[in-house]
Amino acid sequence: MGSKSLKIQVGTANLRPMWIVASILLVGALAMLMGGVVMQLVYHITLAPLWVGVFAGILLSIPLEIWDFSNPDVIIRAITLKDRLLMVCFGLVIGLGAILLYALNLFVPVLHWGIKAFFVPGVVIGGLLFGIGVAIAGYFPGTIWIALGQGRRDAVYAVIGGLLGALTWSLIFGQARYFFWDTLNFGPITWPTLFGLTTKVDELIVAIVFGLLMISMWLFIPRRQGGKACVLHLTGKTKEVLPLEDEISEFKEDYPKIPDYVIEAVSVQQPRSSRIIFALAFDFTLVAVAVIVLRQIFGESTTYAWIWSQILYFMDPRWLLAYPISSCLVG
């Protein structure tokens, strides 16, 4: 297809279907959150059925798919700060989620916080290993499964690496726990506890301040180095947009048969479609808070340990119970 026909298509893609999808996801996320609140306040049930996680997974994975977050190139651009749009999207998720979560904590009786302890060697060394693994593989633990669904062959090797890593940690956990887990373990630390604030109202105030700072990333952080703030990118008033012709060529390398209008519809480079990504961040926020209210937290890294727990239990339950980390694996 020549450049002339490409230019004719720029800005003409019908994004209404994408907005419909975003709206459906937003309504579903809101319904899940309200259902969790009703479950606790009206029916006094503190733990939702396990199958609820299926719907949560759908509501979380579709935005990640539209964001193209399973594409290693997108992840590397985000990690190296060459493209900061996804970073500020997650800043919105974290900031808005913190405010909403601590607001719900004022009247929802049971929230599953799951705040991890700050054990210095484990956090520092584990964080370095995690970062190196993401840099090498180009995937986060959760995005690997999305990439498999897309048919990316390199994701198979990433899955194998994740499974081997989970098995290795399970085998050495008993010997390594003292250094990684018990050394310099300061317990769960939050901003309110650092300032000696213990009431729920105080925690909400801290969450509001923290949340506003995270959300303000849209106003101050440029999408690209030397560019203008991400919020201006959404308005389309910046000149730093990657030409659609170049983006189509880039997409064609991975997806030769994808139509050009689809590329524009799911583009994270063009302001029109970036607004959809901004809207999907609200869906992501509501689902993240909902699973805490529903007490059906599902971990990305934990999935690999859980797979091994099922394999070992199927082969011989005694093998699973022989390891000190067996309670975590079964749980």
Cα distance between residue 81 and residue 95, in whole Å: 20
Residues 32-54 pLDDT 10s: 999 999 999 999 998 899 888 88
Q: Is 53 exposed, middle or buried (0-12, 13-18, 19+ CB in 10 A)?
A: middle
Identify the pLDDT of residue 198.
84
Cα distance between residue 324 and residue 182, in whole Å: 14
Tell me which amino acid residue 48 is: A
In a domain, 159, yes or no: no
What is the mean pLDDT, run by run of 10 residues, along the chain of 331 residues? 41 74 94 94 90 88 82 82 84 94 90 81 91 87 86 90 88 86 89 87 94 93 81 72 67 73 65 83 92 78 81 75 53 42
In a domain, 137, yes or no: no
Q: How many CA atoms lie within 13 A of 242 on its CB side?
A: 20
The parent domain of residue 68 ranges over 14-115+190-300
In a domain, 169, yes or no: no
In a domain, 22, yes or no: yes
Residues 128-154 pLDDT 10s: 998 888 888 889 888 888 888 888 888
Identify the pLDDT of residue 247.
67
Q: The pTM is what?
A: 0.82
Cα distance between residue 266 and residue 62, in whole Å: 12
Where are the strands (E) in the chain, listed by range? 117-119, 185-188
Give the gyration radius of the chain's Cα atoms: 22
Cα distance between residue 46 and residue 33, in whole Å: 13
Cα distance between residue 205 and residue 52, in whole Å: 31
Cβ-Cβ contacts under 8 Å for 178 (sequence gap 6 or more): none
Cα distance between residue 161 and residue 159, in whole Å: 5
In a domain, 327, yes or no: no
In a domain, 123, yes or no: no
In a domain, 70, yes or no: yes
Using alpha carbons only, give the angle 122, 127, 129 rounded to the nearest 5 degrees.
100
Identify the pLDDT of residue 206.
94
Q: Is 306 exposed, middle or buried (0-12, 13-18, 19+ CB in 10 A)?
A: middle
Query: CB neighbours (10 Å) of residue 115?
Result: 10
Identify the pLDDT of residue 324.
53
In a domain, 80, yes or no: yes
Total structural domains in the chain? 1
